[in-house]
Amino acid sequence: MSTTKPLPMHGDGGTQLEIFTIILIPVVGILLRNLFLPWITHGKRFPSSGKQYWYKFLVDFIFIVAPTFGTQTVLADSVGIVHLIMFSVIALLLVFMLVEQSMVCKDGATARFILNRIIEEHHAPTTFLTYFRSAIFILVACAVLGVDFAIFPRRFAKTETVGHSLMDVGVAAFICCAGLMPALKTSARKEESERKRAGRRFTVMYSSTLQLVGLGIARTLVLTVLGYPYEVSEYGIHWNFFYTLAVVTLVTYVLPGQFTLITATLFAGVHQFALSNGIQDWVQDEAAPRDTFLAANREGICSLAGYIAIYYYSRALGRFLAKTALAGLRVRSWAAAVMHMLLLCAFFAAARLAAESALGPPSRRLINLPYILAMISMECYLLAGCIGVQTVSYIIWSARVPHFGSEENPFATSEPCLMAALNRHPLLFFVLSNVTTGVINLSIRALSLESWSLSPPVSLSLLFGHMLAACAVPVYMCAKKKQ
């Protein structure tokens, strides 16, 4: 049995509402940046390499990443004020744009014309998915290192048994991303034959599973060799995040994907039934022996069915979006998609409250029904925000506001290079953020210090450097490919 020691990295959690306000920060940052950069540069397009490209990266980092780790640390108690400031600047920019539009175009576009403008395939209809995935990556990467410092509130740390917390969202959010992708990518490749699509799907599954298993083995070996402390109650002794993703990837490839909503509900129902009939007590029993592989890794293995349910609910959401927003040819269909996601968010939030009253609070260790519903509600909320950002870009483009996009591409001048880079290299970014976290923690301990004792300025500097390094490498990889 591996030698481990408990870490003071858990809290009692907070409220679902607070988590919603935190996860919206990078999305609001993207909107602010999308409005600010084209307006301040008069629509100038940045080159894909050189100094100006890195200036664009710094703008992305300041507008999107800095507020995210700020509200997870020193500004955690002022998230409402941060939102107020950001939305006030957004409102001011919109006023400036309206004034400029009225001066340049005497006969401006009507609301009917704007909402009925046709959106075609080359107008980047899945940009919101790039925003969604990248926002999750940034939120998780900030928390991975931030939790080791005193400036990171304990209510954001992973809960010990039950409750709502920011870090409890992490793994489920990655599963949500994986579930959304198939339907939306298939929608973007309607002309591709079924045989080619099946071959592509098998290749992706095979390579992804091998990579994840390899990373899981590497993580286990590195932690054992370095004696790096980890929490047994999270996944078990040998299990980890990468094995969970690998199993979900493999199982969801084997199972049929036609009836996603039914499959998700069946997995969620059977999983909750098993939890309520003994599994929950066994998983949470600290005195239960870990004398077999299953017993040693009961947290990770027994939560798999819950994660598969989250995957299929997300896949159902992806199909719903593909049949509504992506199937719509006009701007108004995207505005309607925002409302659809908000209504679904409210539905799943109400279902979560009902499940909590009957079954108890959500648990990240068990992935019980209240947790599943809480994660799907969060996913719908974040999707509403990301689709909203894309809809604003479409509206501005449709209104022909100066400097914003072109006839060919509404996002020609506003695409964040950081978001695009993280979307193209998600695994690289995640591994880098974990490696830099380990290096920083080991370096602190080598100096006979504790991360808890570091002052807020030092902690913030380390977190800033961690995020800057983890973000810069994927951006560099993208810039290198474009040269």
Position of tokens 């576009």?
A: 109
Q: What value does the mean pLDDT take over residues 267-293?
A: 93
Q: What value does the mean pLDDT take over residues 451-468?
A: 86
Token pair of 189 as six digits: 């490749």
Whether 133 shows a pLDDT value over 70: the answer reads: yes
Helices 241-254/194-226 angle, 10° precision: 160
Residue from 216, 140, 168, 209 nearest 367 by CA: 168
pLDDT given for residue 3 in this prediction: 38
Residue 459 and residue 142: Cα distance in Å, rounded? Answer: 12
Collapse the DSSP code of 166 into the 3-class scheme (helix H, G, I; strand E, B; otherwise coil) and give the result: coil
Q: What value does the mean pLDDT take over residues 300-315?
A: 96
pLDDT in tens, 81-107: 999 999 999 999 988 887 777 776 666
pLDDT given for residue 245 in this prediction: 92
Q: What confidence tier does 1 reach under pLDDT thresholds 50, 70, 90?
A: very low
Partners of 164 in beta bridges: 14
In sequence order, the 6+-apart residues with CB closer than 8 A to the CB of 395 are 114, 115, 331, 335
Find the DSSP H helices in 105-169.
111-115, 127-146
pLDDT given for residue 22 in this prediction: 96
Q: What value does the mean pLDDT take over residues 51-64?
A: 88
Residue from 309, 264, 302 nearest 280 by CA: 302
Give exposure, 238-256, as e/b (b: 16+ Cβ within 10 Å).
Answer: bbbbbbbbbbbbbebbeee
Q: What confidence tier does 76 reach under pLDDT thresholds 50, 70, 90?
A: very high
Q: What value does the mean pLDDT take over residues 268-289?
A: 93
The percentage of the chain sitting over the pLDDT mark of 70, rounded to a whole number, equals 83
CA angle, 209 then 213 then 216, to 5°: 140
Collapse the DSSP code of 159 into the 3-class scheme (helix H, G, I; strand E, B; otherwise coil) and give the result: strand
Other C-beta atoms closer than 10 Å to the C-beta of 403 total 18
Check: CB of residue 428 under 8 Å from CB of residue 474: yes
Tell me which of 249-253, 291-295, 444-448 is least confident.
Answer: 444-448
Check: CB of residue 298 under 8 Å from CB of residue 160: no
Separation of first and last alpha carbons in the chain: 50
**What is the enclosing helix (H) or strand (E) of 304?**
helix 304-323
The residue type found at 39 is W
- DSSP conformational letter for 403: T
Write the Ramachandran bin of 397: left for phi over 0, alpha for psi from -120 to 50, otherwise beta.
alpha
Q: What value does the mean pLDDT take over residues 76-81?
A: 94
CA angle, 137 then 140 then 142, to 5°: 105
Residue 89 and residue 340: Cα distance in Å, rounded? Answer: 27
Collapse the DSSP code of 107 into the 3-class scheme (helix H, G, I; strand E, B; otherwise coil) and give the result: coil
pLDDT in tens, 379-438: 999 999 999 999 888 888 777 776 665 555 555 555 678 998 999 898 889 889 888 888
Check: CB of residue 395 under 8 Å from CB of residue 36: no
Q: What confidence tier does 6 reach under pLDDT thresholds 50, 70, 90?
A: very low
pLDDT in tens, 338-379: 999 999 999 999 999 999 999 999 999 999 999 999 999 999
Check: CB of residue 409 under 8 Å from CB of residue 122: yes
Tell me which of 69-73, 253-257, 299-303, 410-414 is least confident.
Answer: 410-414
CA-only gyration radius of the chain, Å? 23
Token pair of 382 as six digits: 């974040």
Residue 284 and residue 303: Cα distance in Å, rounded? Answer: 12
Residue 87 and residue 82: Cα distance in Å, rounded? Answer: 9
Please state the pTM of the whole predicted model.
0.90
Token pair of 42 as six digits: 């008069």
Q: What value does the mean pLDDT take over residues 137-150?
A: 90
Rounded to 5 degrees, what are φ and ψ at 415? -65, 120
pLDDT given for residue 260 in this prediction: 92
Check: CB of residue 375 under 8 Å from CB of residue 310: yes
